[in-house]
Amino acid sequence: MEKQIAIARAAERRPPRRPPARAGVASTIYAELRDQLVSMTRRPGQPLVEKEIAATYGVSRTPVREAVLRLADEGLIDIFPQSGTFVSRIPIGALPEAMVIRRTLEETSARLAAERATPAQMAEIEAILKRQREVSARGDQDAFHHADEAFHAAIAEAAGLPRLWTLVQHVKVQVDRVRRLTLPQKGRMPLLIREHAAVAAAIRRRAPHEAALRMSEHLDRLLRELEDLRDLNPDFFIPAVAALTDAAE
């Protein structure tokens, strides 16, 4: 029952970095850089210097390069041979499709969870909601994000579709960067908790249609706010027209 909470809490802890063992060095660097990019710790447009990263980990540039290439394949890093390597800007034109795909998958997840959730799984979902309230009260945005992820993962688990959440994670990588921009907004975390609570309540009542509807409303919010977020952070986004031009080239 405590599995998702344990995952969320473990993600909050940031122990001092040690040089990774030889095996899996590139994977370790990839995972930590990816977290920094998705969390917006490294901002769009910021240079990414492989030599400095290698020095941080106490390794050669080879595993760093391998990690960077993987992140470039995911669209999180741009490599310009004549200019350098930079944190990618967010392709605004690709976001609506990713959001619609995510919503479709998670509507199914919520609906099936309302039909299939066991008492233990329902208790886990409620415990994660409690955790969200705790971290929101202290303004811990990183912990809130991890608890948010745990909430959605727990619903997929209750639906009997744990691999669905893995698919959602791949689809929403750029969406997550936008989500992180919203967390500092006043009242944002309490609002998300209320929306999560509405989804959980529908699942508890065994109301599949309502659970899917509440999940849809929850996920659609970000799509409705996209233009305002772009206007507030114009340097973080690639305009839709520019994205299409880049793709054509």
For the chain, the first-to-last Cα distance in angstroms comes to 50
Query: In this predicted model, what pLDDT tens digit does every residue of 220-245 receive, in sequence order?
Result: 999 999 989 999 999 999 987 544 34
Q: What is the pTM of this model?
A: 0.82
| C-beta separation of 212 from 111 below 8 A | yes
Query: In this predicted model, what pLDDT tens digit does every residue of 200-211 receive, in sequence order?
Result: 999 999 999 999
Residues in the chain: 249
Give the pLDDT of residue 197: 98
Beta bridge partners of 78: 86
SS3 of residue 143 by DSSP: helix
Question: Could you give the domains of the chain?
Answer: 14-88 (1.10.10.10), 92-244 (1.20.120.530)
Closest among 119, 126, 133 to 189, alpha carbons compared: 133
| C-beta separation of 108 from 160 below 8 A | no
Q: Which residue stretches of the chain have pLDDT < 70? A: 1-23, 241-249
What value does the mean pLDDT of the chain take? 89
